[in-house]
Amino acid sequence: MRRVFYAQSGGVTAVINATIVSLIRHARLENISVYVGVNGIKGLLQKQIVNTGLLLEDDLEKILYTPGGSFGSCRYKLKAEDLPIIKDFLVKHKFDAFLYHGGNDSQDTTSQIANYLAIEHPHILCIGLPKTIDNDLHGTDNCPGFGSASKFLNYSFRQACLDVTSMSEDSTKVFILETMGRHTGWLTASCGLAHSKEFPGPQLLLMPELKHSLEKKLDYVNEYIKKDRFCAIAISEGYQPNITTQSKDAFGHHQLEGSGSALAELIKKELNVKVHLSIPDYLQRSFTPCLSKTDFDQAQAIGHYSIYCIKHNIGHNTMISIVRLHDDPYLWSLDHTPLNKVANQEKAVPRSFLDKTGFALSEIGLNYFKPLIAGNVAIPQDSNYFEKFWTHLLQKKNEFIDHSFQ
């Protein structure tokens, strides 16, 4: 029986669990055993490994729709001394494949392990699985997790703008929503889907890739207040941040904050209007009531395809990638991208996705984003929605930890 080690890394999403559930289900059909590291690669290093063979189908059905990463994640930068430990573990316990599920930094982790194993153990397949709401991975048209996060933001914007419109006569004139996005503005740009002639807002999209003069921003805000009675703005956290803390994660990334509040204060001061700022933060990242069916389907397909790769021994030192074949009707397939073209790289939003003003989506941008938030997922519900979630592994990990690895 073949053995696979899998772990989740980095920020979680609304569909990261859909991938591991699909992977486990298809592995069982192929007589492949799947073991999961608790809290990412740290689970391997600490010998905290879940034997998914102990999970019942009822567990898997609940995990499928549970937000967040049910097996725990981490932000851990691999050290040189970790590599021989990882190699010895995989070799000693006769693993056939190593699957790591994450974003830019996680793909670098997979690449390092693949290169280290290639010297003496090239038979151990190392594959990266894509995941990030930032949508900034090279080599893939889009990233699982992004579509559902974008859908949450678009639903939020449409409803918030209707709220603000109702009160705009003598209350809020400017509504600002700050999205996640450190160096790229994919989530912010996608918020342009909520804007239309009949339902204006957000009228301005402010992203790290394209900065505008203060004068130009204020002119457009003023123009939309006159035209629509209010102006709604989507702004990336990395547009013009204040680094108010010296705290960094394991990869040296500062926690960014302040883009939205700085803009709010500026508009209040210069235009003397009431401004409201909203920061959804983690809500946008992992909110299963707003699952995009496209996102959900692609996440599951990647889990299924991972097992196909293991069965046929293909895809070593690559990341599974999504290829767009057609916009309308939306068609896609799966392929591979070499990890060295993905690791530690960030894909920016193309200028062509914005119109000539640089504040709104172009037709190209609309066609790109629209199918990614399409479709709804019917989550099985009863009188208590929350009972459909799976209790986080940390609450009951002793039931599933395989102590033979310790």
Per-residue tokens: 297? 């389907």
- Going by C-alpha positions, the residue among 50, 33, 51 that lies closest to residue 94 is 33
Q: Cβ(95)–Cβ(4) under 8 Å?
A: yes
- Going by C-alpha positions, the residue among 57, 35, 100, 27 that lies closest to residue 400 is 35
Q: Cβ(135)–Cβ(322) under 8 Å?
A: no
The answer to whether 219 is a known catalytic residue is no
Per-residue tokens: 178? 């700050």
CB atoms within 10 A of CB 233: 28
What one-character DSSP code corresponds to residue 183?
S
Query: Which one of 82, 105, 108, 134 is the catalytic residue?
Result: 134
Per-residue tokens: 379? 């989550």
Round to whole Å and give the CA distance between 308 and 313. Answer: 8
What one-character DSSP code corresponds to residue 341?
G
Chain centroid to Cα 202, Å, comes to 22
- Active site positions, annotated: 134
